[in-house]
Amino acid sequence: MPVREAVFEDAEEICALIEEHAVYEDKHDLKLDRAEMSGHLFGPEPKAWVLIASPPGRPDLVAGFAFCSWNFSTWEARPGIWLDDLFIRPEHRRHGLGRELLNALRERTAGRVEWDMQAGNEKAAAFYAQLGAEPVPGWTRYRWRP
C-alpha cells in the first residue's frame, strides 16, 4: 500500500512538501522551522498528524502527503478529520495517490472529512467531485488571527 503514517524521520520531507505546495500556489516566501514542526507533529502532545504517499513500488520515495487534525461535530456527536493540506508532487500525479490518501482518511472516521479548496481550482474541484465530495453551500470560512 502506498500510504503510511508519517514518523519523526519524515519531518524534513513534510516541511519540504509544504514549502513546495506553497510555491505551486505562487507563494514563494514560505520557510518552515523544522524543529517547531517536528514538535507539533511528533512531540509529547501532537497537534496534527500526516499520512505519506509513495509511488507504487517505491516505498523509499515520498510523493505526497495529507496533513490532518481531528475535529468534532456537535451535531453529529462524533469526531471527524480536518484535512489542512493535500499535495502530490507534480511528477507523481495521475497515479491515484491523492485518492489513496483520501480513502485512507475516510477509513479512519465515521464522521466528516472536511477541507478547504482555493476558489477557482477547477482541477481539484473535478477530482473531489469524482470522489463524491460536495462543496458546503451557505457557509463562509472566517479566520481570526492575533
Which residues are tagged catalytic? 128
47, amino acid identity: K
Q: Report the distance separating Cα 23 and Cα 32, nearest Å.
A: 13
Residue pair 87/21 in contact by the 8 Å Cβ criterion = yes
CB neighbour class for 143 (10 Å; exposed up to 12, middle 13-18, buried from 19): exposed
